[in-house]
Structure 1
Amino acid sequence: MNVIDMSFKRTSYEVEVKYSILYECALGIAMITYPKLKDKLDKPGYYWDHLRSHLPDSLESELQYCQEHNTWKILLQLLHTQDFHSLMSFISYISDLTDQQLKYFSLPFLEESQEYNRHLASQGDTDAFNRMILACKQHLFFPQMIHFLSEVDMSELRIHLIEVMSGWYNEVVKKDEDETIGMLKRDYHGKLKMLEKAAPEEVVQWATGEEYKPEANISKVLLIPHYVYRPWTIQAHLSETKVLYYPISETSLTDQDDVSSLALLYKALGDEKRLRIVKLLFEKDRSLKELTDILGIGKTTIHHHLAILRSAHVVKVKESTYSLLHHSLSLLEPQLMDYLRRG
C-alpha cells in the first residue's frame, strides 16, 4: 500500500523546572511505602528500616494505608493542581475541596480521551470507573487505585492525605528542611542556567541521564528535582505534560559555585584511564565486561572510574550498557568560556 504521511510530528518541547519541599515530602512517602527499592537508593536499606521502625504508630498506620492504596500518587497529583508555598496552604486546599473535586484530582490522568470518563467517575458513575480501569489494565497499580477510589469514603481519604503528609513532614522532613531546600534550589537554578545555553532535549538528558524524544501529545516537560529518591527518575503524565522527578546532581549536594561544577567536569576527564573509557564510548555503547576486556583493568577499578564519569554527567548507564553523553562534552568549551568572560 502507498501511504502519504501528512501527520504532525512534534520536533521539540518546552521545559519548565519547579522545586518544592512538598514534592520532596510526597516522594519520600512514595519511597518509604515501596520496600522493593529500599536497597537501591543512595542511602542504604538499613537507614530506611531504622527510620520507619522509629516513627509514631499513628504515622506508621497512615503509611500502611498508603502502601495498600498508593495514595502517594494522589498527593503528587494534588500538588500539580497549583503552586503551594507551605504545608499549611496545601492542607487548607485539600480541606476546602468538595468531594467531587477531590475524587477528580485523585483519579489518575490516563490520556485526553479518558478525561470525560474521569469527570463522570468523579460524580460517582460506576460505568465510567470501569471504563477507566479497562483503559489502563496493563498498568502496575492504576486499576487497583481506581477501584479503591470508586469505593472509598472521601472524608476518610481526605483525613488520611492530611495526616500522612503532615506526619511525614513533621517527623522526617522538617528537621533537615533548610538543607534540603538549599540543595533543591541550587539544582533548580543550575537547570535554569542550562536552559539558557542548551536545547530542551539536552537539558532533560543532563538532568535525568536518559534521552527523552518529543512525542506528538507532549508539549512540555516538567522537571522537578528531588533528593530522597536518588538515583531514580520518576515519570508521570499530566495533560500534554511529561513530568520527570529527577535526582539532583552531585554538585547540588553542597553549596558549590559554577567554578566547582566546572572543575568537577574537568577533573572527571583529567585521568588517562577515564579518557580511554570516554574514547571507547565515543565509538559505541559498551558493557562493563567489554570495557574490562578491552582495557585489561579489573571490574572494580573500571566501575570506580565509570561512577566518577556518571557523577560528572559524562556517562550514563541503561540496562548494564554504558553510553557517552555527547552533549556534556559539547558544552565543555561554552561553559569554560562563559566562566572566563564573566566580570
Structure 2
Amino acid sequence: MNYFLASQPEETVNVTVESSEVWEILLGISGYTYAQLRHTFELDEQWKTWRNTMSPELLEALHEIQETNLWYGLLLLQNHWGAATVQDFLNGLDQESHQSLYEVLLPYYGQKSEADRKDTVINHTDKTRFARYAEFFKGHDYLEGYVRLLGERALEDILSLMKAVTKEWHNFIRSQPVWEKWVQALMYEEKENQGLNQSHAMEEIKRITGGAEYVPEPSVWNVKLVPHVSYRPWVLSLRTVDTKLLFYPVKEEYLNERGQPSSSLIRGHKALGDELRLQLLHTLVQGQSSLQELSGKFHMSKTTLHHQLSILKSAGLVSADKGVYRANTETLRRFSGKLDEYLGLKG
C-alpha cells in the first residue's frame, strides 16, 4: 500500500528585537547587583563614581536585591508584561493576582519538572513546595536560593522591594547626562533590526547579537533579542517556558563620540595590562586548558584564576565551553591592528 504524505511547512522560532527604557532600567539594577561579574562590565568604574551620589534608600534596596537575586524576577516580569513605561511595570506589580505572579516568578527548569513547577504555583501557600522545587536547581549560582526565597518571604515583601528598587533606580538613572544618549541608542538599535528574515532565524540572531550562536531548544518558539548598555560587553541569556531571551550589547557607534576610542580597544588593553593575564593568554594560545589544569600549572586557586580569566573573556580574547578555556586567536589577530587603526597609522 502506498501512502502520500503532504509536506508541511518547516517550523522555526520567531525572532524579535525589543528595547525600552524599562528593560534598560531593570538590566541596570541587575548589572549593578551582579557582584561576581560586575568588575568586567564597561560601566563598573562609572557605577563606582555614581555610588557617591546615590540616596541611602537606593543603596539599601540595591544591597537587598544583591542578597536575594530578585533582579531575576524583575526580568521575568518584564518579559511577561512587555511594559512600555516604568509606571506600567509598577501597575503590574499591584494588579496581578498572587498565583499569576508566582507563575511568572518561578523559573522554568525543564519539561520533566514542569508539573512540579505548576503544582508549586497552584499551591503557593504551601511553602514546603518551593523548597522541593528548589532542589532541581541544586548547585546553581543563584537560582536555588532564589526559588527558596520565593517560598520563605511573603510575596507582599518581595513586591515592596521590587517597587522600591525600580522607582529609586529609575529616578537616579534618568538624572544622569548619559541617559538620553542611551535611550536614543536603544531606539536606533530596535529600528535598525525590524523586518527580520524569519526563515534564517539563526543567522539573524548571530548577526544582530554580534556573534552569539543560538541552538534551538525544545518548546522554545520565540527568541527575544534585547539590546542593552548596562551589561556591555556581555551577551546574556534567560529561558522561560516558551521563550529564549538574549540580552546583547547595543552597537558602539551609537554611543561613542567622534575621536573616542572604542570600548573594545580600551577593554582589550586593560585585559593585557597585567603579567598574570598575559601568561594565561600565552598558555592558552599553546592549547586549551581546564580551570583545574591552569590552577595546577600556575599554583593558584581556581577562584583567583577564574577572576582573571573573566577579564580576558570580557575582552573577547578567550572563550570557555564546559569549563575548558581557549584563546580566540582570530580576535587576537584583529585586535593587534586596532590601535594602529584608531591612531590613523595604517597606510
TM-score in same-fold range (> 0.5) = yes
Alignment pair present for 1:147 and 2:153 = no
Question: 1:65 deviation in Å?
Answer: 0.8
Q: How many residues align?
A: 266
1:83 aligned partner: 82
- Cα separation, 2, equivalents of 1:35 and 1:112: 31
Amino acid at match of 2:118: H
Amino acid at match of 2:328: Y
SS in 2 for 1:235: strand
Deviates more, 1:172-181 or 1:18-27: 172-181
Query: Does the 8 Å CA contact 1:17/1:222 hold for their aligned counterparts?
Result: yes
Alignment pair present for 1:209 and 2:199 = no
Question: 1:236 deviation in Å?
Answer: 0.4
Deviates more, 1:63-72 or 1:79-88: 79-88
SS in 2 for 1:81: helix
2:48 aligned partner: 49
Within 5 A, what are the aligned runs for 1:179-190? 179-190=181-192
- Cα separation, 1, equivalents of 2:317 and 2:137: 31
Q: Alpha-carbon deviations, 1:306-330, whole Å to 9, x = none?
A: xxxx99xxx98634533769xxxxx
- Cα separation, 1, equivalents of 2:222 and 2:135: 27
Question: 1:84 deviation in Å?
Answer: 1.2
Q: Alpha-carbon deviations, 1:168-192, whole Å to 9, x = none?
A: 0111135444322211111112233
SS in 1 for 2:83: coil
- Cα separation, 2, equivalents of 1:236 and 1:71: 14
Question: 1:37 deviation in Å?
Answer: 2.5
TM (norm. structure 1) is 0.68
Q: Alpha-carbon deviations, 1:43-77, whole Å to 9, x = none?
A: 3x332222223211111111111011001111111
Structure 1 unpaired stretches of 5+: 1-9, 257-263, 265-286, 294-309, 326-343
Query: Does the 8 Å CA contact 1:288/1:322 hold for their aligned counterparts?
Result: no
- Cα separation, 1, equivalents of 2:283 and 2:12: 34
1:164 aligned partner: 165
**Alignment CA distance shift 1:223-1:42 (3 Å):** same
Question: 1:85 deviation in Å?
Answer: 1.7
Query: Does the 8 Å CA contact 1:209/1:316 hold for their aligned counterparts?
Result: no
Alignment pair present for 1:105 and 2:104 = yes
2:21 aligned partner: 21
SS in 1 for 2:248: strand
Amino acid at match of 1:22: V
Q: Alpha-carbon deviations, 1:257-297, whole Å to 9, x = none?
A: xxxxxxx9xxxxxxxxxxxxxxxxxxxxxx9759999xxxx
- Cα separation, 2, equivalents of 1:188 and 1:109: 27
Deviates more, 1:133-142 or 1:24-33: 133-142
Deviates more, 1:24-33 or 1:102-111: 102-111
Alignment match of 1:219 (pick from 221, 228, 237): 221
Query: Does the 8 Å CA contact 1:225/1:245 hold for their aligned counterparts?
Result: yes
**Alignment CA distance shift 1:192-1:290 (3 Å):** farther
Query: Does the 8 Å CA contact 2:58/2:168 hold for their aligned counterparts?
Result: yes
**Alignment CA distance shift 1:216-1:50 (3 Å):** same
**Alignment CA distance shift 1:125-1:204 (3 Å):** same
2:327 aligned partner: 321
Amino acid at match of 1:17: V
- Cα separation, 1, equivalents of 2:116 and 2:172: 38
2:119 aligned partner: 120
Alignment match of 1:252 (pick from 247, 251, 254): 254
**Alignment CA distance shift 1:200-1:255 (3 Å):** farther
Question: 1:255 deviation in Å?
Answer: 9.8
Alignment pair present for 1:232 and 2:260 = no
**Alignment CA distance shift 1:64-1:222 (3 Å):** same
- Cα separation, 2, equivalents of 1:118 and 1:141: 17
Q: Alpha-carbon deviations, 1:19-50, whole Å to 9, x = none?
A: 1111111111111112232321223x332222
> What is the aligned-residue identity percentage?
24
**Alignment CA distance shift 1:125-1:199 (3 Å):** same
Amino acid at match of 1:159: S
**Alignment CA distance shift 1:53-1:116 (3 Å):** farther
Q: Alpha-carbon deviations, 1:150-181, whole Å to 9, x = none?
A: 11122211111111001001111354443222
Runs of 4+ in 1 over 4 A off after TM superposition: 287-293
Query: Does the 8 Å CA contact 2:285/2:327 hold for their aligned counterparts?
Result: no
**Alignment CA distance shift 1:236-1:323 (3 Å):** farther
Amino acid at match of 1:94: L
**Alignment CA distance shift 1:248-1:317 (3 Å):** farther
**Two-structure CA RMSD over aligned residues (Å):** 3.2
Query: Does the 8 Å CA contact 2:128/2:151 hold for their aligned counterparts?
Result: no
SS in 2 for 1:224: strand
Structure 2 unpaired stretches of 5+: 1-9, 263-279, 287-313, 321-325, 332-347
Question: 1:105 deviation in Å?
Answer: 2.2
